[in-house]
Amino acid sequence: MSEAGGATHATAAVERYIRFWNAETPGDQRRLAAETYAEGVSYCTPVGVMHGSEELIGFRDQFAQHSPGYSFRARTAPEAHHDRARLQWELVVDGTTFATGTDVLELDDGGRIVSVTGFLDRPPAGFDPDATH
């Protein structure tokens, strides 16, 4: 993937990634998962390790059940180089920032995400990172 092509793919991938986390219907979730993630995508964050879009859909749905109406959004413009993108994000619940973090996305040649490595910059109140290991 060329540097310029990488940045273009990365920008589009980040936009789809954000839309996936904010999808309101199961149909939108599945469509966006297919467009966003490569087969066997890996997701490694302090909250847990997941593989495949089905696990990501389940994780997203579980969070949405506990925090209906949440919003996942970028805090800054995403940065990209080669086959990587960095997204600094925030989760907003009931108009208040619930958590902030940084995700590093690795992309395939088609611009789909093959892996996500996430970090919590400001975890939710009461979050115990040792409880997830």
Return per-residue pLDDT of the chain as tens, 133 residues: 444 445 677 899 999 999 999 999 999 999 999 999 999 999 999 999 999 999 999 999 999 999 999 999 999 999 999 899 999 999 999 999 999 999 999 999 999 999 999 999 999 988 777 765 5
- Gap between the Cα atoms of 41 and 116, Å rounded: 8
Give residues with Cβ within 8 angstroms of 54, minimum separation 6: none
Q: Mapping DSSP to helix (H, G, I), strand (E, B) and coil, where does residue 71 land?
A: strand
Give residues with Cβ within 8 angstroms of 32, minimum separation 6: 16, 19, 20, 23
pTM reported for the whole predicted model: 0.90
**CA 52 from centroid of its chain's CA atoms:** 13
- Gap between the Cα atoms of 30 and 99, Å rounded: 25
Domain ranges of the chain: 3-132
CATH for 3-132 (3.90.1150.10, 3.10.450.50, 3.40.50.150, 3.20.20.140): 3.10.450.50
- Gap between the Cα atoms of 88 and 33, Å rounded: 20
